Structures are given as C-alpha cells and as structure tokens.
Structure 1
C-alpha cells in the first residue's frame, strides 16, 4: 500500500511540475548533459533569479546541455518534491537557485547520492559542500564596495539604501558599500538602510524610496531585484539618481541609474559542467568574485540626475576592480552585529 501511494504521489508531482516548467526546445542532443534549475522567482526579473537562469541558458544555446527551468517556486517545502522529481528522472545536475533552498537540497541529495546538485546560500554555505552538492555564494562585501565607489563618484549626498529582506549576505553587501562610498567621497552622508521585508514587492520599495527622498536623499542605492521597478519609479518622479539597478529593469531605471555590479555565473558554471563530465564533481564551493570575473561592473551611465559623474568613470571603475582583484586594496569583512 505504501509503495502504491508513494508511486501515485511521484506521478502527481511529475504532472504538476511539467505544467510550469520551461522545456528545452531541442531535447534529443546526443551526449548533452541534462540540467534542471528551480527558481524562487521569475527567470526574467533582471535580478537574482535571472542570474541563475542566464548562467545555464548560455550552455543550452551552445548545445552543451538540455535544460528545464522551473520558475516561481517560492516556498522550499514546495521546491523539495520538484528537486526529487528531477533527481529521479536522472538529470545530471539539479540546481536550487534560491537562498531558502539549501536545506531542501541537502535532504534530497542524501536520498539520491548518485545525483548531483547545486545550491545557493550565504558565506557559510561554502563549508557545506559535499560529494554530490556544490554550493554557490558571492563576495558580498566586494560587490558592495564597488557599487559604493560608483555611488561616491557621483558626489551626491545624502545616500540612502532601499533593500528587501534583512539577510546577513545583504547586510554584508551594504557594509562593503559604505567603505567604497567613503573611498570615493569621504564627505558623503549616509542614511540608515530601509528593509521592506520583500525582494519582490515593488510597491513597498516605491514607498520606502519616496520616504527617503522626502527626508533629503539625493541618491538611492538598491539591488537589481523584483522590487527594483518601484525604486526607479519613485526616483524618476523626484528627479533623484540611483545605483544598483539593471538597465532592463524599466525605462525609468535607464533614465536615473548610474551603474551597478552584476553577477555573471557563466565562468563558474563552465567549471561545474566540466567537472561533471570528468566525474570530479565532489566538494565544489563556488564564489563569485571580482578576481574570477564573476562579479562585473555594468550599465555605467551618464544620467541627468547625476550631472557630476566623471566622464571617465568606466576607466576609474576598471582600475579599482584591478586593484581589488590583485589584493592591492582590501575590503573589511562584515561580521554579525555591525
């Protein structure tokens, strides 16, 4: 009886998952690795979830992998049976691209020791890589430092941060931001960050941005997440500049955003796929950094809301990246309680 119930449950999961998965358009390539990625948001959100999707789409386009993308599985409880489904179907790599997925991935990996997985997390996830689970995180302080430097070059002040959830990796990023801002503009004033509690709620971000602007902010720092259109809209309405948004966020973002630092997952994913092919997958702890070119300055732009941005900002940013990557300039690490 238990066997029949379990079989029926798996069938139901397979049916439900197939309804919202994005299939590979060319499924019969001999020798191609089969990869599935589960996202906690949308694959075109111009933010974190698109980073994951774009990081594997490149290899689909090149014919190296067959790809399934499952979007908007917000709750890890809902994601876990999807991970099991892909593992049971024999996918070569199952990726859980959501910071709340780690526990579900590790539980699934124990049930399927012959399958391979990748999970995301904060700095501590690097210590948890196993024989069949690779981990990914990013150098949050480095990303923030470079973004803060870009913000400081504008000479705008006060500077306000509008963010989603108050997670440790997010706090680490904004700690690095303060350091980069001081390097570029020691006179800049910073307002305390506003955390709306959601990486996706654009309306809350819009309200928080408008609040800080009323309080005097002349530059809003944020991230390229689901909430970003709300930040851009409020900034454009008030004629205030931003940093951290993607140019694809909205027309408003293109008009007010000075620049950002994006994650390019492709260089790291190249190594993951190579190790899968060579059967040397075990123990991978991946980290996007400036040195491995998985953190990249992007969308550097001259905007009307930031008239004092130097014309050679691109080259200044490139020089800073070189110094950071070479270890000639150190970023102070964030610790809890700071």
Structure 2
C-alpha cells in the first residue's frame, strides 16, 4: 500500500509539473514567425511609404521577429515572386502597403493558406486576406476648414494623386463650409509618385494666385511643400505630420497612423484573432488625427476646430451635417 501511495503521489506531482510546463509553453507561444511588407513606391518618401516601414520596424521590436520588405512592387508577377520568396523564408504575415495589392493578394491567397495577407484601402477579402481602410473624408474636411480660414486670396489648390481619393471631396467641403467665398482648384497627377508633374501643377496654380495647397500624394507631398515654403505660401500636410518642413508653411496635416494599424494587426494575428474581412478606421479609433498646428493659425480657430473634431468622434457628424 505504501508503494502504491508513493507511486500515486509521484504521478500527481508529475502531472502537475506537466500541466504547468504546458501552460508556460502556451503563454510564450506566438503565431507570428516572420513578417514581410511590399511597397508600391519607396520607404523613404517622408509620407505613406515611410509610415509603413515604421510600422514594420515596430513589429520587429515588439515581437522580436525577422522582417523583410521590397520596394517598387507594382505588378502581379512581382507580387507572386516576392510572396514565394517570403514564404520560403518562413514569413507568415504579409503587409501590402497600398490599395493595389488587394486583387493581387486575392488571386494568390488560396495558394498560401499558412500566410495571412493584409493591405490598405480596398474592397477585397478572404479567409486569410484582410483590408484595413482609413476613413479619410473627415480628415480632408478638417484640413479644408484650415485652408478656408487661412487663404488670403480666396484661392485654394488641391494637387492630388487620383480623383477618387475620399479626402479630396472632404477637403473641398471643408473649404466651402469655412469660407463660402473661396474657390477650390483641383489638379490630378494620376499617380502617387510623379513628382515632376506635381511640381508643374504647383507652378500653374501659383500663377492662378492660389495661396494654400493640399498636395495629397505619397511621394510628391514633401517636394511640393518645399516649393510652397520657398514661395512664402501655405500648405496642408498629407498622411504624416509634415510640420518639420516648415512650421510657418505647414498650417496642419491630415495624419493617418498606418504604423498603429500594423502593430494592431500583428497583435491580433499573434493570438489567432486576425480575421479576414474589410475593416474601417477613423478619428474615433485613434489612427486618424490632425497634425501640429502652425503658430500662424489663430488659437481661437484651433480651439473651435478641435471642438468640431471632438463632436465628430462622439456622433460621427461633420459640422456641415449638423
């Protein structure tokens, strides 16, 4: 009997140790192995591409994993080659840092069931394909309000990449809400990185007496703002806080924190909770904000604008919808 009792005690102790060890392993287990990113343009554009790279580095630091990136990936063939290379390296979470990757990922997602694909601002999804969308209409609206307030010539200019950008319509509405006497002139580059054309459009708008500019494009926003500064005029920054380009030039910026969504998606994936689907984020989610305000912008106006933003966070209504 004593031997049986001793054997039973040893069995119970071993069982407890095994359970504790199992719990410890599970608590340390993570689903992320390695992470890859595809960029349509460059990670050094001081705008959208830089935001993506920052998010990738934050994932590397937080989860202590290897990360990889490829720039200038714009075709299905390039995507196929990059994903195959990533998969062979053990990457199981891939970010496509552009809306163009939605259909491209959709076409190959089923071939890589162990890889989860994430991209931005699109309508494609699958079990292992997630679209993270910024609701950019409101940020454009509030940026437009600042432009409408600060224009002295009542001529405001938009130099945008594409006509379909939601922030463009929002900006137009914001200018008109704040200053019905202002005229908004729109020009389109028809691409995210044609800096030469963007600068030519700036020159044309300057000749039309435009004194506040919204350069809404990844690669050309900073070069255009530099020209605006040289001309002694005003600009609204795009996607990132561009006040560093000149606090007396950049009145404020319409900021999207793509890096925060990178980390959030990685955290969800790491615990098995990243779902395939289409998800939208705005001011209420802490990933869309206005950047620093120039000292040129009156303090009373800034306070009033921030009150409008707080109201929008509460009920989703812009000032012109109240």
TM-score category of the 2 structures, normalised to the smaller one: 0.7 to 0.9
Question: 2:248 and 2:191 mapped to 1: Cα distance?
Answer: 24
- 2:155 is matched with 158
- Please report the RMSD computed on the Cα atoms of aligned residues, expressed in angstroms: 2.7
Instruction: Determine if contact 1:247/1:254 at 8 Å carries over to the other structure.
Output: no
Shift of 1:162: 1.0
Cα distance change of structure 1 residues 216 and 48 upon mapping to structure 2, 3 Å threshold: same
2:38 aligned counterpart, secondary structure: strand
- Structure 2 matches for 1:250-269, cutoff 5 A? 251=245, 253-269=246-262
Cα distance change of structure 1 residues 46 and 314 upon mapping to structure 2, 3 Å threshold: farther
Question: 1:93 and 1:136 mapped to 2: Cα distance?
Answer: 14
Question: 1:202 and 1:189 mapped to 2: Cα distance?
Answer: 24
Gaps of 5+ in 1: 1-28, 304-308, 334-338
Question: 2:53 and 2:200 mapped to 1: Cα distance?
Answer: 29
TM-score in terms of structure 2 length: 0.80
Question: 1:98 and 1:76 mapped to 2: Cα distance?
Answer: 13
Question: 2:90 and 2:151 mapped to 1: Cα distance?
Answer: 54
Shift of 1:41: 1.3
Instruction: Determine if contact 1:181/1:188 at 8 Å carries over to the other structure.
Output: yes
Cα distance change of structure 1 residues 67 and 249 upon mapping to structure 2, 3 Å threshold: farther
Shift of 1:248: 5.0
- 1:140 is matched with 136
Decide which structure has the larger Cα Rg and report it: 2
- 2:84 is matched with 84
Instruction: Determine if contact 2:151/2:211 at 8 Å carries over to the other structure.
Output: no
Shift of 1:142: 1.5
2:119 aligned counterpart, secondary structure: strand
Instruction: Determine if contact 1:40/1:75 at 8 Å carries over to the other structure.
Output: no
2:284 aligned counterpart, secondary structure: coil
Residue 302 in structure 1 maps to residue 295 in structure 2 = yes
For 2:176, which of 182, 203, 211 is the aligned residue?
A: 182
Instruction: Determine if contact 2:161/2:190 at 8 Å carries over to the other structure.
Output: yes
Residue 173 in structure 1 maps to residue 160 in structure 2 = no
1:190 aligned counterpart, secondary structure: strand
Instruction: Determine if contact 1:159/1:188 at 8 Å carries over to the other structure.
Output: yes
Decide which structure has greater helix share. Answer: 2
- 1:115 is matched with 115
- 2:234 is matched with 241
- Structure 2 matches for 1:11-90, cutoff 5 A? 33-90=33-90
Question: 2:52 and 2:142 mapped to 1: Cα distance?
Answer: 22
Question: 1:198 and 1:118 mapped to 2: Cα distance?
Answer: 22
- 1:288 is matched with 281
User: How many residues are treated as equivalent by the alignment?
Assistant: 291
Question: 1:302 and 1:223 mapped to 2: Cα distance?
Answer: 22
Shift of 1:118: 0.6
Shift of 1:39: 0.6
1:91 aligned counterpart, secondary structure: coil
Instruction: Determine if contact 1:154/1:310 at 8 Å carries over to the other structure.
Output: no
